[in-house]
Chain A
Amino acid sequence: MRTMKIIPNIKSVWYNLNISGKIAALILILLMIMAVFAPFFSRHPHHRSSGPPLEPPGLTHLLGTDELGVDIWAMICFGSRVSLAVGLGTALLAGLGGGIIGMFAAFKGGWVDRFFMRLIDIMIALPNLPVMIVLAAFFGPSLLNIIIVLAFFSWSTTARVVRSGALSLKEQPYIKMAAHYGAGPLYLLRKHFIPELLPIIMVSMVRLAGMAIVTEASLAFLGLGDPTSRSWGLIINHAVNFRGIYFTEFWKWWLFYPWLFLTLLVTSLALLGRDLERIADPRIGK
């Protein structure tokens, strides 16, 4: 029954999207296919040399090679997996955590609520990137660490949105009726709060994924990413740190293509998130 309900929902969401949202969703689907089927898309290996170094784009190497002769298209294909893992992992962790904390704070009210609101305010105001840099410097930049730290520092916006949603839900007459008829908190959560708040959580998860991917790419760009995972940010980092790259032609493929894919992914996620926010909450935006 559940799945039957979700499919027409997806359809109606699709019809409500703006043009920008639709284009963004299509780009995201393409990039996801690329990440899942990466080995089928790239003829060359992504982790070792497969031709002369710094070859311009051509028939053998679609997007050229880097300074070690590694195929850039292959690296981009496999790099999309890193971005996807970071985005999905953080979104799931922080989305669920933020959702639970938001609902809990709204349910309990009083001092618990006040404490969490204060914590959320602090978390939102804390400069995110310096924190990430410090933690990456102190605890080593493995991909798992990055996901955990990102989730730990990004649940706050979700929690705030979910809390305000839950608070207004709490005042709805039908919820009060249900409570009067003896519905326990668990029943209310399962039957009303979670299904009603799930769309909000999902939308903020799209946002979280975008934010996480940008942060991972930023850290990798600074040279603080996981050195064993060839993410797009790391390719950009290598290209930028190549001495005198701006005086050569190499940036036209080595720097440009990872830049293009990263920009496409991040911008699409953000535009889709914004559009979904508008659909989920008509008060925001246009």
Chain B
Amino acid sequence: MSALKSIKSLMVIEYLLTFLVIISINFALPRMMPGDPFLHFSGAMDEVVSFHSKAQIQYFREHYGLDRPVHEQYLTYLKQLAAGDLGFSFYYKDNVSAIILRRLPWTMFLVISAMGFSIILGTILGSYSAWRRNKWQDNALYTILIIFSEMPAFLVGLALLIWLSAGLGLFPLAGAVTHFGSHNNAWEKALDILHHAALPVFTLTLARTGGIYLLVRSSLSTVLTKDYMKTARAKGLKEFRIRYVHALRNALMPLFTRVAIQLGALLGGAILVENVFSYPGIGVLMRSAVVVRDYPLIQGIFLVLAIGVMAANMLADLAYKYLDPRTRPAASGKHVTIQLPAKVQKGETS
């Protein structure tokens, strides 16, 4: 068991190093940037207008601690981060972490519901396809889902916005709730929120379902050829039990890591789709932060997104090691765990 434990702790160390790399990049970026932040600081939008005198700039440098040695700056930066302080947004005049926390729920709402729907839909369609492998239903589903999953989400979103919202007026054009509208009760408010979220969630779901469908389809097809399926049939188990308890459960194992790996792509899609539908999440915030050159805010958002995605990956990796009976630490004495060399395990997860 000690070998397994050491693999696990090695993995955690590797992830910690990754976090440190991300944080360091985030620290280095504004210091590597061409130009001086205080020049932009004083200009509106894209113009560079310096209203500051030399003495003022000197004051700012001292105020932000930019006149101290780099390693000292780095340590202060780490200390601030550890305290959850992401800096101060000079456009919104508020703490970056507070702004992000206000916007994050909307993005999480989109991402989590899209992920849930695409997993459900992908699993259902994928298993349907696997059981009808190479029949026309399988071929038709395969073609349609591949085309939809290869189309960039924001282009699909634009088409849906034009067609369903602008053309037919079925869905709102922008926002997450109706502004200046009065909701009589919580139920109406919830309906309004769902109505606004419908198209963004649908767009993201459409973009993600294809990948999950393919994975379930191929892994279920392999499982169906395994000997234990024959055993299950020979035991006279009901078809339902064979399909959903024996086959699908084993086929869903790879899904776990795949979903975590694709989280980054899903977030990227969400950023764009939010901008298509003017949905007030992190994506729209990031874009407006870039437009007004609010560097602390841009960095804060990047840090939150990157660390979030990497943390999800780490959890999935650890959970996978636990869930997979071949790599699970033995719970009882009679449970025999075959120890695989590290290389094989890596290959298994990828």
Contacts and interface: CB of A to CB of B under 8 A. Distances in A.
Are both chains from one complex?
Answer: yes
Interface of A: 20, 117-118, 122, 124-131, 133-140, 160, 214, 217-218, 221-224, 236, 240, 246-247, 251, 255-256, 259, 262-263, 266-267, 270-271, 274, 285-286
Contact of B151 (A124, A137, A267, A286): A267
B152 interface: yes
Interface residues of B, number: 55
8 contacts: A130-B271, A130-B301, A134-B298, A218-B272, A222-B272, A224-B290, A263-B155, A285-B218
A137 B290 contact: yes
B34 interface: yes
Given A223-B287, A251-B166, A126 B309 contact: yes
Interface of B: 14, 18, 21-22, 29-30, 32-34, 142-143, 146-147, 150-152, 154-155, 158-159, 161-162, 165-166, 173, 214, 218, 261, 263-265, 267-269, 271-272, 275-276, 286-287, 290-291, 293, 295, 298-299, 301-302, 305-306, 309-310, 313, 346, 350
Given A138-B32, A138-B298, A222-B287, 20 more contacts: A20-B143, A122-B21, A122-B310, A127-B263, A127-B267, A127-B268, A129-B267, A130-B306, A131-B302, A140-B34, A160-B350, A214-B152, A218-B152, A221-B154, A221-B272, A222-B290, A251-B162, A259-B158, A266-B155, A285-B218
A168 to B, nearest CB: 12
B98 to A, nearest CB: 20
Contacts of B263: 127
A267 B143 CA distance: 12
Given A128-B264, A222-B275, A224-B290, A217 B152 contact: yes
Contact of A126 (B32, B218, B306): B306
B305 A130 contact: yes
Chain A interface SS verdict (over half): helix
Given A127-B268, A274-B150, A286 B33 contact: no
Contact of B272 (A129, A160, A263, A271): A129
Nearest to A218: B272
A117 to B, nearest CB: 7
Contacts of B159: 259
A130 B286 contact: yes
A4 B275 CA distance: 50
Contacts of A218: 152, 154, 268, 272
A247 B30 CA distance: 41
Nearest to B22: A126
Contacts of A274: 146, 150
B146 A138 contact: no
A129 B268 contact: yes
Contact of B155 (A125, A160, A259): A259
A122 B313 CA distance: 10
Instruction: Report, nearest first, the 3 A-B pairs whose CB atoms are least far apart.
Output: A129-B268, A270-B150, A127-B264
A246 B165 CA distance: 9
B150 A127 contact: no
Contacts of B30: 138
Nearest to B287: A222
A131 B350 CA distance: 23
